[in-house]
Amino acid sequence: MISSLKALFNSLTLTSGAPAGHDPQGREHTLQLATGVLLIEMMRADAECTEHEKRAVVGALRDKFTLADDEVARLFELATTTSRDAPDLFTFTSQLNRGFSLEQKVRMVEYLWQVAFADGVLSHHENQLMLKLGDLLYIPRAEFVAAKQRARDGENSSAPKLHS
């Protein structure tokens, strides 16, 4: 899986149209990587990456993509490496904009908020990153605020899974 995800990342950075991969599995891997990178970016937004934040990222990946533990671990590792090398977030948000419905993107924003709140403190950097990602994902302000509130309250949303 990791080699296929690396190949997908390489094509992701070169793709200007539909998500990389001509097959549904390739498309799903591209969306998984893009999602993972955004979750990692949120985890790293403040100066301290806590175990609570890491568990929130792993939980989001496992829940939203129904991945096995070893697949989640590989995706987490690849997303971490990709995040370090990424010049911007637009590459990843544009993939999600093409691959996810509004409801799925709102659910993604809720997971990002959960990572931001995981350590019990919402830093200025986390809040600013969330505002930027909300704009890049074209989330209406009311939906954005509702996702934040659900994440803060620890509610489980009935929004659809992130499967494409």
Domain that holds residue 123: 2-153
pTM value is 0.81
pLDDT reported for residue 12: 45
- Residue 132 sits in a domain of what CATH number? 1.10.3680.10
Residue 162 is assigned to a structural domain of this protein: no
Q: What is d(CA 128, CA 145) in angstroms, rounded to the nearest whole number? A: 14
Give CA separation, 92 vs 7, 21, 33, 41, 157, in Å: 15, 15, 8, 11, 23
Residue 139 near residue 110 (C-beta atoms within 8 A): no
Written as tens digits, the pLDDT of the chain (164 aa) is: 555 545 544 544 434 344 444 577 788 899 999 999 999 999 999 878 889 999 999 999 998 898 999 999 999 999 999 999 999 999 999 999 999 999 999 999 999 999 999 999 899 999 999 999 999 999 999 999 999 999 999 865 444 444 44
Residue 138 is assigned to a structural domain of this protein: yes
Q: What is d(CA 125, CA 44) in angstroms, rounded to the nearest whole number? A: 10
Count of domains for the chain = 1
